[in-house]
């Protein structure tokens, strides 16, 4: 699989599990994503899990469903906490498979 993509088990991303990888100049993670069942509209749709240096699976971020304020279209964002990494998910280039989502970085979190 190419880097900076998540392959979900179905095109219904909100309820699908997935696996992928994120590579930047500062980190390289293989990730697993698992859906979260919550009635809280502010809760993430998925937990993002990565491997610790000793190989343990640890929660390292989340995926949230958002809505474009101008068009009303739904989209997903991904955050990796320890690296201040933020990205949108979108259709992978040259792909018709909606279960394959590209991870499109949009910059570091602002320091609080």
- For 71-83, the pLDDT digits (tens) are 999 999 999 998 8
State the pTM of this model. Answer: 0.87
Cα 104 from Cα 90, distance rounded (Å): 7
Query: What does the pLDDT read at residue 107?
Result: 66
- 93/46: higher pLDDT: 46
Q: If you average pLDDT over every residue of the chain, what do you get?
A: 90
Cα 31 from Cα 22, distance rounded (Å): 8
Nearest of 110, 59, 68, 58 to residue 88 by alpha carbon: 68
Cα 56 from Cα 46, distance rounded (Å): 19
3 state SS of 51:
strand
Could you tell me what percent of the chain has a pLDDT over 70? 93
Query: What does the pLDDT read at residue 32?
Result: 96
Cα 72 from Cα 24, distance rounded (Å): 31
Query: What does the pLDDT read at residue 112?
Result: 46
Kindly report, residue by residue over 37-71, the tens digit of the pLDDT. Answer: 999 989 999 999 999 889 999 999 999 999 999 99
Cα 44 from Cα 63, distance rounded (Å): 5
């Amino acid at each position: 699989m190419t880097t900076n993509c998540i392959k979900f088990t179905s095109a219904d991303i909100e309820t699908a599990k997935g696996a992928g990888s994120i590579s930047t100049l500062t980190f390289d993670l293989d990730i697993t994503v698992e859906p979260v069942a919550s009635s809280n509209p502010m809760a993430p749709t998925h937990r993002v899990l990565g491997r610790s240096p000793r190989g343990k699976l640890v929660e390292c971020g989340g995926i949230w469903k958002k809505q474009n304020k101008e068009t009303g279209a739904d989209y997903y964002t991904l955050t990796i906490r320890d690296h201040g990494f933020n990205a949108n998910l979108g259709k992978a280039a040259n792909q018709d498979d909606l279960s394959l989502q590209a991870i499109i970085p949009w910059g570091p979190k602002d320091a609080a």
